[in-house]
Amino acid sequence: MSKTQLGPQTLIYPMPAVLVGANVDGNPNFMTVAWCGIANSDPPMLSVAIRHERHTLGGIKQNLAFSVNVPSTDIVKETDFCGVTRGSKVDKVKVCKFKVFYGKMETVPLVEQCPVNLECRVMHMLNLGTHMFIIGKIEETHVSDSCLTDGKPDVAKIKPFSFVSAPAMNYQSLGAVIGKAFGVGKELQ
């Protein structure tokens, strides 16, 4: 099997597509982020990478707090809209008809239409170059009741989707189950 070297590329698959939210000068704003992941188990933490010039980043700095909202395939247009427009020029909440609510933390806006909402407190901010890399402690998790089964989050109801980078530049839903985690590999033992 031969390989081609492409130089340093930001190539991990699949990436999520989430909405990161913050109050900017007191007004809720949301942006689309694919560069987001879990950072720690206990205490629960996550990370987001945001370009320095983004409006939402200003709000995160003001409050040292932010939200991560997992959208469903039902609002893929709204999710993309929050990535292609600027909060300094457009009221994204109004255009997207987002119902904004607040949970445990008073300055962290959450999107009701997103099945999963995480409230986060900033723990670390690292300037890595083009992006500010933010590690947040997850303070509370909200899940839409319609996306729970026996009181637990049900991915088949949440219907999250993936961002696939260039050259594809698509959003893709989740496909078939191909194996049980912590299970299918045991066949090789």
* Interface positions, 106-135, toward a second copy (CB under 8 A): 112-113, 116-118, 123-124, 126, 128-131, 133, 135
Distance CA 100, CA 28 (A): 8
Q: Supply the minimum distance, in Å, between the C-beta of residue 58 and a second copy.
A: 19
Nearest to 80 by CA among 167, 164, 176: 164
CA 126 to chain centre: 18
* Closer of 4 and 25 to a second copy (Cβ): 4
Q: Supply the minimum distance, in Å, between the C-beta of residue 175 and a second copy.
A: 3
* Closer of 27 and 184 to a second copy (Cβ): 184
Residue 42 neighbours by CB distance under 10 Å: 5
Q: Supply the minimum distance, in Å, between the C-beta of residue 189 and a second copy.
A: 7
Binding-site size, a second copy (CB under 8 A): 113
Q: Which of 13, 27, 53, 88: binder of a second copy (CB under 8 A)?
A: 13
Q: Is 144 exposed, middle or buried (0-12, 13-18, 19+ CB in 10 A)?
A: middle
Distance CA 119, CA 110 (A): 8
Q: Which of 25, 89, 106, 145: binder of a second copy (CB under 8 A)?
A: 145
**Does 31 participate in binding a second copy (rule CB under 8 A)?**
no
* Closer of 58 and 103 to a second copy (Cβ): 103
Per the structure block, which two tokens stand in for 77?
């247009």
Q: In the range 56-95, which residues lie near a second copy by CB under 8 A?
A: 68, 70, 73, 76-85, 95
Q: Is 60 exposed, middle or buried (0-12, 13-18, 19+ CB in 10 A)?
A: buried
